[in-house]
Amino acid sequence: MSAARAPALRDARVGDLLPAPVRAATAPLDADLSNLFDAERSAVERAIPRRQREFASGRRCARTLLAELGHPPVAIPRSADRTPAWPAGIVGSISHCDDLCFVAVAPVSALAGLGVDVEPDQPLETALWRRICTPDELAGVVAARPTALRGHTVRLLFSAKEAFYKSVFPLLREVLGFQAVEIDVDWATGRFRCGVDEALRARLPGGRTPEGRFLHRDGWVFTAATLSATPLEARSS
Ligand SMILES: CC(C)(COP(=O)(O)OP(=O)(O)OC[C@H]1O[C@@H](n2cnc3c(N)ncnc32)[C@H](O)[C@@H]1OP(=O)(O)O)[C@@H](O)C(=O)NCCC(=O)NCCS
């Protein structure tokens, strides 16, 4: 077995965040260039060791998850727009932060879009709040969250927007600003809704918007946005 095919250490930290058939896991950032296929290596062979580790660890974790979906080990090259080029029939997303990566994959028969993000569960500095939040989001944070938790809440909104962006970018191929989506957090269920204007919604498959989930665990905040391949009416029938 070549190093590129070696399984990642996979932990169950985010196992309950996303429902089947999505496969999601975190893994440590301890892979290196030897874990990459030739088609992947050129993306980071001149990068600093830390960047090589995060790229290689994400690919290794993705291959572990793809194996769980019955997929043989394949290269996941980096596209010109920096998105991972997933094998046919697969949607997926990769995030890394400090010392772990967070990866999710799913069959396109289940999801049209999938985005994940991981951030340290630390307050986001106040100077960034207006850049990340819409005026309504900011008013909601101030009105509904205790002062000590507001920075953490904006961190969650930031992460949710990153996950949203990753879930729709492969479909739109357009850079979106942080004001393009409004996150509505449901604290009781660990879900969030992604509000977009009608023009943006109309460009998404079936006019649907991604559904969001979040999880605070071990000092991290994990977010995921999933855009169903199936219209709501079909899912409830
Ligand atoms: C693309 C972006 C979201 C990545 O987020 P990040 O916090 O810098 O880094 P993360 O570790 O979470 O994610 C990096 C991974 O995202 C993936 N990625 C990169 N560009 C992507 C894109 N346009 N769409 C989907 N995934 C992308 C890659 O897999 C990358 O890891 P890899 O290079 O090792 O494969 C961010 O750099 C960016 O461009 N943000 C600006 C736009 C935005 O966030 N808008 C939010 C409001 S909608």
pLDDT of residue 1: 40
CATH of 3-111, one of 3.90.470.20, 3.40.50.2000, 1.10.8.420, 3.40.50.970: 3.90.470.20
> Which is the closest atom of ligand 1 to the Cα of 54?
34
How confident is the prediction along the chain (237 residues), in pLDDT tens digits per residue? 454 544 455 566 787 789 889 999 999 999 999 999 999 999 999 999 999 999 999 999 999 999 999 999 999 999 999 999 999 999 999 999 988 999 999 999 999 999 999 999 999 999 999 999 999 999 999 998 899 999 999 999 999 999 999 999 999 999 999 999 999 999 999 999 999 999 999 999 999 999 999 999 989 999 999 999 976 566 554
pLDDT of residue 233: 60
> Which is the closest atom of ligand 1 to the Cα of 55?
34
Asked if the domains 3-111 and 118-228 are classified in one and the same CATH topology, the answer is: yes
C-alpha 162 – ligand 1 centre gap (Å): 7
Fold of the domain spanning 118-228: Ribosomal Protein L22; Chain A (3.90.470)
Tokens matching residue 18? 């996303």
* Distance, CA of 123 to CA of 81 (rounded, Å): 30
Could you identify the residue written with the tokens 């069959």? 107
DSSP category for residue 26: E
> Residue whose CA is closest, atom 48 of ligand 1?
165
C-alpha 143 – ligand 1 centre gap (Å): 30
* Distance, CA of 181 to CA of 170 (rounded, Å): 16
Domain ranges in the chain are 3-111, 118-228
pLDDT of residue 27: 93
Our answer on whether the CB atom of 137 is closer than 6 Å to any ligand 1 atom is: no
